[in-house]
Amino acid sequence: MLRGSAGAWAVLGPLLWGCGLSLLQGGMLYPRESRSRERKELDGLWSFRADFSDNRRQGFEQQWYRAPLRESGPTLDMPVPSSFNDVGQDGQLRSFVGWVWYEREITLPQRWTEDLGTRVVLRIGSAHYYAIVWVNGVHVLEHEGGHLPFEADISKLVQSGPLSSCRITIAINNTLSPHTLPPGTILYKTDPSMYPKGYFVQNTKFDFFNYAGLHRAVLLYTTPTTYIDDITVTTDMDQDIGLVNYQIIVQGSDHFQVDVSLLDEEGKVMAEGAGAEGQLQVPSAHLWWPYLMHEHPAYLYSLEVKLTAQTAVGPVSDFYTLPVGIRTVAVTESQFLINGKPFYFRGVNKHEDADIRGKGFDWPLLVKDFNLLRWLGANAFRTSHYPYAEEVLQLCDRYGIVVIDESPGVGIVLAESFSNVSLQHHLEVMEEMIRRDKNHPAVVMWSLANEPASFLKPAGYYFKTLIAHTKALDPSRPVTFVTNTNYEADLGAPYVDVICVNSYYSWYHDYGHMEVIQLQLATQFENWYKAYQKPMIQSEYGADAIEGFHEDPPLMFSEEYQKGLLQQYHVVLDQKRQEYVVGELIWNFADFMTNQSPVRMIGNRKGIFTRQRQPKSAAFLLRERYWKLANETRIYRYGRGQT
Ligand code: GCB
């Protein structure tokens, strides 16, 4: 959420729920180069300091943003993008809670600082959790929320004098409160016989390490001063004609012309249009199909948008190209349909998590993960438990990996976290998330939360409101949240389109008794379906396994136990997928870091791959299963050698 809009929200928010309007200012198009746009990435080493002062406010009291950071004390070299936690040798920094300061000095191209027809934008892909940004010591923006981008037009600051350099300072606070997403609490330990004065810890109700820092790209990009601010595309089919509805928002001038062309993968123009809003028709359209469902999955057209405007400084043009996949999504009582065909989610839950870099974006890791997903024959994943980097979704679009896009609503279990303050923030987060991700064909469903205490009384109103607002913002996609509440007690379930249930039979209870899984799982599905008649997804199931631990007969934590547990689930999934179960997502794709605890052995080990992405036995089991399922649901035959 960009600070500044909060007041308006409080007054107008309730009036706008349900009418599809967003109060966010401006679009959040992914910064792409074009004939009219340049980008300059600020990846690399930044100066860094954690504020270890007792109240963590020394940086503000001494105004560290006013002069280069090195002038107010010692600094560390900090890579961006990366979490700051695991790159150093300092245990205190690893578990630091409070403000950290990042700074980078850069030289700008002369044209950017002199051409008043150029708009220079500073964009931060993700700063966990609360961020304040200064440019050359001037406060430019604040943002709450660690997983979505935010940006500011800094043209005036960089074009105001002879300066060609620019100093960017970003203060980031990773403290979580009952009203943040995800929520957390600070616990002060006041017994002087046990803790030093002022001692506190951050408590969270989610099962992953609260990595922090600048996790994704920080970059500068340019547009003309009259520019394409946002594009919204929805698609449909009429017989074999693909329908591409578009809406384009322009900023900077009221006198402009917009032209659009839709190009196929060979670069041939398939349809053209004029005006900021319209519909393009593509005869014999190539549909966007999920991986392994079609011989040419993930077909992407390119929507080329050209803006021309008359401005005080003369005629201006802006160009932006958006990949577009033509596909439809629908839900019946027992099916999830993509392009009118039943779709079965065979996939994984992931985390943005790796050695050393924590949640920092990393191309080699990303490409490896997509290679593993395709090796598995998976066709889907859930962005558990927060929105992932935009580049992740771009690869999903390109490879046909279907996404359940989840908000950071994980660990909403305190009554306070269902208050109106929390709800309002959650509504805003959904706006930011939909604004960013709405045009990805791979995204087929929004997930609002993971395992909230949806049995608490305020949960009914909370989810009713949140789901209505999400649907109003995007009527084209189904909405869910992931539950582990009993079917009779869940107050949010009446409002979702698909029931997503997590269960850990013979892991968190009935330990070691895999023989009860089939009965318990069948009961789970039958109860839910009887109550709601909605399609269901087994959105989590799994067991920890330490790679290289072998026990036969299987014992918990061995590779054999993990495999055996999955096999028991698969027996029931195979029965129920003939009826109304539309998907299975293993917990988890890879091992990941958590808080230290006696029940976590250097993190959560439920990955079917290790944290270094090496397969455990369960990975081979799933691979066999997913390819078999793929062969059953493929709607066109593959050529030789493609499977
Ligand atoms: C869950 C949570 C997930 C945990 C997992 C586990 O239900 O959704 O975040 O990591 O269980 O392994 O306990």
pLDDT tens string 218-271:
999 999 999 999 999 999 999 999 999 999 999 999 999 999 999 999 999 999
DSSP code of residue 216: S
Cis peptide before 478 (omega within 30 of 0): no
Could you tell me what percent of the chain has a pLDDT over 90? 93
Mean pLDDT of 349-363: 98
pLDDT given for residue 312 in this prediction: 79
CB 1 within 8 A of CB 145: yes
Q: Is 542 helix (H, G, I), strand (E, B) or coil?
A: coil
Q: Mean pLDDT across the stretch 350-373?
A: 98
Instruction: Answer for the pair 210, 458: CB distance below 8 angstroms, yes or no.
Output: no
- What are 420's two structure tokens? 């109106």
Atom of ligand 1 nearest to the CA of 592: 10
Backbone angles phi, psi at 306, to 5 degrees: -125, 125
491 falls in which pLDDT band (50, 70, 90)? very high
Give catalytic residue positions. 451
| CA of 482, closest atom in ligand 1 | 8
Kindly tell me if the per-residue pLDDT of 69 is higher than 70. yes
The DSSP bridge partners found for residue 243 are 236, 281
CA of 535 to the centre of ligand 1 (A): 22
Decide: 506 and 514 in contact? Cβ < 8 Å.
yes
Specify the pLDDT at position 14: 37
pLDDT at residue 12 tops 50: no
Tell me which residues have their CB closer than 6 angstroms to ligand 1. Answer: 207, 385, 450-451, 484, 502, 540, 587, 604, 606
CA distance 404 to 437: 11
d(CA 228, CA 186): 43
Residue 62: the pLDDT is 98
Question: Scanning the structure block, which residue is given the tokens 């993990």?
Answer: 562
pTM, to two decimals: 0.95
pLDDT on residue 8? 32
Q: How far is the CA of 76 from the centre of ligand 1 (A)?
A: 35
Mean of pLDDT values over 37-49: 98
The predicted pLDDT at position 23 comes to 63
The whole-angstrom distance between residue 511's C-alpha and the CA centroid of its chain comes to: 33
Are the C-beta atoms of residues 131 and 142 closer than 8 Å to each other? yes
Residue 7 pLDDT grade (very low, low, confident, very high; cuts 50, 70, 90): very low
Is the confidence at residue 284, as pLDDT, over 60? yes
Helix, strand and coil percent figures for the chain, each rounded to 5 = 25, 35, 45
Pocket perturbation via mutation, ligand 1, pick of 407, 540, 546, 591 by most ligand atoms within 8 A of CB = 540
| Mean pLDDT, the chain, integer | 94
State pLDDT tens for residues 423-448. 999 999 999 999 999 999 999 999 99
For residue 637, count other CB atoms closer than 10 A to its CB.
7
- Three-class secondary structure of residue 463 per DSSP: helix
* Rounded distance from Cα 504 to ligand 1 centre (Å): 9
With CA atoms as reference, report the closest residue to 25 among 350, 251, 219.
251
Q: Which residue in the block uniquely carries the two structure tokens 């931060």?
A: 124
Question: Which residues are 123's β-sheet partners?
Answer: 151, 219
- Token pair recorded at residue 237: 């089919």
Question: What is the torsional sign of CA 442, 447, 448, 451?
Answer: negative
pLDDT, tens only, 576-603: 999 999 999 999 999 999 999 999 999 9
**What is the C-alpha to C-alpha distance for residues 116 and 384, in angstroms, rounded to an integer?**
43
Nearest to 222 by CA among 369, 122, 349: 122
Phi first, then psi: what are they for 297, rounded to 5°?
-75, 165
